[in-house]
Structure 1
Amino acid sequence: MEIKDNNQLLRFTTAGSVDDGKSTLIGRLLFDSKSIFEDQLASVTATSSKKGHDGVDLALFTDGLKDEREQGITIDVAYRYFTTPKRKFIIADTPGHIQYTRNMVTGASTANAAVILIDARHGVIEQTKRHSFIASLLNIPHLIVCVNKMDLVDFAEEKFEQISKEFEQFSSKLLMKDIRFIPISALIGDNVVNRSENMPWYEGGTLLNILETLHISSDINKIDARFPVQTVLRPQDDGNRDYRGYAGRIASGIYRKGDEVAVLPSGFTSKIKSMNAGEKEVEEAFAPMSISITLEDDIDISRGNMIVKKNNQPESSQEFDVMLCWLNNDAAKPRAKYVIQHTSNEERAIIKEVVYKMDINSYDRIEGDSNLKMNDIARVKIRTTHRLMVDSYRDNRNTGSITLIDEQTNETVAAGMIV
């Protein structure tokens, strides 16, 4: 059995439809794992009493925004941190309403696992499929399906098996290797932190046990060296006038002093003369370290350029395909110009073509419909004013993702994964 480092951090997102019990589930996790501060517990206990609840309303541990409490819903991504003796956790609690599906893209973008809630009374619904598809699109390695509110279906094993089978049927089209199913009651606490006495037929682990023992594989590509330049360092003091360093965060791979590198998009080559992490010179640096690099040759380099290994280069292109999630309330405007953000680079871009949209219910392709509305997911062709250095998202999350920004409003209108 693998020994877990208690400093290991697992990021996971929760998703489900409205009233599936996400906030209650997270509250139960925090409460039963004794991760609630005394002042938080006192505040929530007092609020629960004011609302006339018997005992503590667990959902209040996550529904912290005033608007959420007034409406009784969760309307934004709420991040929560807790720790157990075995692992540290960051939870991204995403809202369940269809109009807030875009929030899941934000919450799940850095997740190691996704917890999908299904109401045992309703089974697999459209939002279940939508959230599962987004988890697959974002290349999240682990999916944990919690069939919640089992207490409302008499803890029936048949109901759990029926929902699990239904989920497996549609999820076979998704590129997800690890899918696990747990019957739970977040309200009562069955199989969340403590094993359920009401469902002796379930022999698997509790949710917390699975979260504590999941293998965390790094989502950082260690092979393809990619260093997007954020700024050029030119000290003005007399002793360092000849110094020219290129600062940024390594997106992927490993760099060593003396490596032969190419600067893109120009294609000029050189060797790494030195590297500094803060004030300390280092012989080797790797993602996600922030460093400055000097080269042996004087090359014209600016923000948005990329330093890569000479024999391992990304695609350099002005046109590429992207799986795009439209996030904005306003629909995409035909041939409108947007700012595309890719690593440290910003260029102007247009959506040249909508190749197809996805039908979330059937996972079929919808062709001939170029109208992109909020929450639509589509494969599109994007054209930029200048070349970008890109990798596919499945190979490299950092250099394979983009965002589109409306030039006039400065709003982020879409997020995309390069195909």
Structure 2
Amino acid sequence: MPEQWRNFLDDLPRELPRPRDLGSPSAAEISAKVRPKALMEQDNPAERWVPIPQPVLEWYRRIGRPTPLYRARLLEKRLGTGARVYLKREDVLPTGSFKLNTAIAQAYYAAVEGRTTLVSETGAGQWGMSVALAASMFGLDAEIFMVKCSLDQKPYRRHYMELLGAQVRPSPSDFTAFGRGVLDRRPDHPGSLGTAISDAIEYTLGKDSAAYISGSGVPHVYLHQTLLGLEVQAQLEGLYGEAVGEAGRGDHLVACSGGGSNLCGLIGPYLSARAGGADLRFLAAESTAAPRLTAGRYTYGRADLAGYTPQVLGYSMGADFVPPPVHTAGLRNHHSSAVVSLLRNEGVLDAVAIEERKALEAGRLLLQTEGILVAPESTHALAAAIDVVAEADAQGLEPVVVVLASGSGHLDLQSYSEVLRRP
């Protein structure tokens, strides 16, 4: 298991565009108040390698890191492909999600700084579950704003958080002025990550000793998630004695993309190799319900709707865009992160939008062949990888295809059932 996180910001094809921060108070001032100082410093670390604190390492080992790299041989057989398809199995972690990797780190830094409460948003609920568990590891309270339509679709994730003592509220929320304003204008608003981030930050500003933490979208989260790519590197080199991309097979790394943390965690450690000529392709799978990378505009925008976060240059559907209440809540973002958008705009990252039914059909196929049930978000990556395999077969290629199984689908059975039973 890695004992250091990999800072890949210097491996980006060019420097990140500066954010715009015109509010009063500014987003930088708000961040300084609500976020632990160590996390803000990790947004632009000086070191190439950032040591993982010993208490965080101990918890990583306890939860089961490193996670398995699993070859899906029966899926390969069903597809009739010569490609080698691997799943990076983050679904086996205690909360059923890769989100725990950064939740543990952020909870640790909040506790060291003397914060007593973690506050955050959650879409599908996997991040909220991870925040609740990480808070309990370090003796902290947790308060979570969950996207309303997801709270209705996935009640068992709420139950999990509450079992750990977390307070869970729907977003838009009547606990905040922002949320009340949204509900006054549209009482049936389904919520989005933009509303939930706004609710969480406003709530943190009014609560002493609370820390706001993010599940995605900011560099320190991507830093923590480089565990994913670092473990894959070690595991594949152990199998083949060579890194993916070195054998001229046209190898692929595939992950879904909402806020971009599982995608950046997987591909970040590989950016320098690709820049050096490795035959390696990166693919982001997003939802057709919020197709920022494939149909959005490259422009400045915010992750939240209330104006607490800075404007960053990214692919956007616009601040007024309200994603439909699909079951892939983790992909219902209106604006993409600066890092993911830069990689896309510079041609380093490819992207594809996957329709929900097609994605969940791929998930059903994986269950039928390998006995593995992944989250709806992860099925988008799986469906995209199946298309990659079909294209490779048509070209007579036999690449290694690594798919990030970012989450478990065992609390998403209602989603599978509702979508796949539609005529």
TM-score normalised according to structure 1 size: 0.24
- Higher share of residues assigned helix: 2
- Higher share of residues assigned strand: 1
Higher relative CO (Cα under 8 Å, sequence separation at least 6) belongs to 2
TM-score normalised according to structure 2 size: 0.24
